[in-house]
Amino acid sequence: MTHSLPLRLPATRAAFQRALRAWYRTHHRRLPWRATPSLYRTVVSEFMLQQTRVKTVLPYFERWQRELPDFPALAAAPGVQVLKLWEGLGYYARARRLHRLARAIAALSAPPRTPEAWRALPGVGPYTAAAITSLAFGSPAACVDGNVVRVLARLTADGTVFRDSASAVRHFQPLASTLLDRRDPGTHNQALMELGAMVCTPRHPNCPACPVRRFCAAADRGEPGDYPRVARREPERREVLRAWCAHRGRLLLHRAAAGARRLADLYELPQPSDLGLADAAVRAGPLLLRKRRSIAHLQMAESIHSLPPATGQQRGFARRTGLHWVPLARLDQITLSGPHRRWIEEILRLRAP
Ligand code: SF4
């Protein structure tokens, strides 16, 4: 059973919108894309913030604006520069989608103004289209991201168990649209997301300080942490072997193909299959580093073993697709995935004389 009906009543809805807007005006974080907003800054920040925290995005956003300050500059930039500016931010498909989007916009006489038209552009889904058009053009489109799902699930004490976060987003979209303040959709959307990020946080919601506490069914029940209910996906554990093969000031790296689903054009330390070797052949070398990391539900343990570069083997490596001997002095000029740059630097420090 849910408690969304009172919120849907016009008088309650108007009071809710007023309380939310007043709180946001005073309490929102001063962020660079809010201080001097523009369509381009909104688009770049929305892409960078997908699945990434504000604190992580800030230095990337500032550097990006210095080097690629507008759509024409981004559209004209080579892919290698775009990827390099994104290095360490993760989910690299976002950088390629943003680049394609800038090129599509640059080819138009003017950027579109409706969510429907934005969704026809490359790399723009329902959330991004709603965020961009409500913020930049005041379109009456409600944004629903993870923060908004959490706030709405708690306001209504909605006990539905969702299969995944995408189904939770779809479930709450109609309520978000009903609650949208059509006089200022951009501010309303930002306020609801900011409330989820700053007050109605996943583990410790600060209900006493919440501007919409009086509308909240979960807080009335004293159990806000019970919502939303999303089925937990079992973590998948994976062991990954990596080879460290250095010779005469060069390091052997694997570059994923341009069409690869993940990490296209990015360099990483090679796996046994990249080298045409059996796992046992790599595992036989001394262990240099063992690291754990998580990507969504995937929990990976990566072991990096030193591989002695026998001369014949080296020639074979050079011929294999995707393998490159990169001079150590040029490592800062290529785009490595974030963890691999940290691991390589750590090994180089450990091996320094
Ligand atoms: Fe979230 Fe508490 Fe506010 Fe309800 S009262 S919306 S649970 S912070």
DSSP alpha helices (H): ranges in 107-216? Answer: 115-119, 126-137, 146-155, 165-179, 185-198
Q: Return the best residue to mutate from 4, 155, 158, 214 for the ligand 1 pocket (most ligand atoms within 8 A of CB).
A: 155
Lowest mean pLDDT of 52-56, 112-116, 204-208, 307-311, name the range.
307-311
Instruction: Supply the pLDDT for residue 315.
Output: 63
* Interval between CA 247 and ligand 1 midpoint (Å): 58
- Tell me: the pLDDT tens digits for 53-81? 999 999 999 999 999 999 999 999 999 99
Ligand 1 lined by 121 (C-beta under 6 Å) = no
**Which atom of ligand 1 lies at the shortest distance from residue 211's CA?**
3
Residue 45 has pLDDT above 60, yes or no: yes
Ligand 1 lined by 219 (C-beta under 6 Å) = yes
Residue 302 has pLDDT above 80, yes or no: yes
Residue 284 has pLDDT above 70, yes or no: yes
* Interval between CA 163 and ligand 1 midpoint (Å): 23
* Interval between CA 100 and ligand 1 midpoint (Å): 39
Q: What's the DSSP call for residue 245? A: -
Instruction: Supply the pLDDT for residue 200.
Output: 98
Ligand 1 lined by 216 (C-beta under 6 Å) = yes
Instruction: Supply the pLDDT for residue 314.
Output: 66
Ligand 1 lined by 228 (C-beta under 6 Å) = no
Q: Domain-by-domain residue ranges, the chain?
A: 10-230, 236-351
Q: Could you tell me which of 164, 282, 306, 294 has the C-alpha nearest to residue 238?
A: 294
- Tell me: the pLDDT tens digits for 93-142? 999 999 999 999 999 999 999 999 999 999 999 999 999 999 999 999 99
Instruction: Give domain 236-351's CATH number out of 3.90.79.10, 3.40.50.150, 3.30.70.20, 3.30.420.40.
Output: 3.90.79.10
pTM of the entire structure?
Answer: 0.85
- Tell me: the pLDDT tens digits for 212-237? 999 999 999 999 999 999 998 888 99
Which comes out higher in pLDDT, residue 298 or 82? 82
Residue 36 has pLDDT above 90, yes or no: no
* 48: three-class secondary structure by DSSP: helix
Residue 20 has pLDDT above 60, yes or no: yes
Structure token digits, residue 246: 């250095």
**Which atom of ligand 1 lies at the shortest distance from residue 210's CA?**
3
pLDDT band at 3 (very low <50, low <70, confident <90, very high): low
CA angle 136, 138, 142 (to 5 degrees): 100
Angle between helices 39-49 and 93-106 (to 10 degrees): 160
* Interval between CA 219 and ligand 1 midpoint (Å): 6
pLDDT band at 261 (very low <50, low <70, confident <90, very high): confident
Assigned superfamily of 10-230: Hypothetical protein; domain 2 (1.10.340.30)
* Interval between CA 212 and ligand 1 midpoint (Å): 7
Say how far apart CA 346 and CA 350 lie, in whole Å.
Answer: 6
Enumerate the active-site residues: 46
Say how far apart CA 111 and CA 25 lie, in whole Å.
Answer: 28
pLDDT band at 2 (very low <50, low <70, confident <90, very high): low
**Which atom of ligand 1 lies at the shortest distance from residue 224's CA?**
7
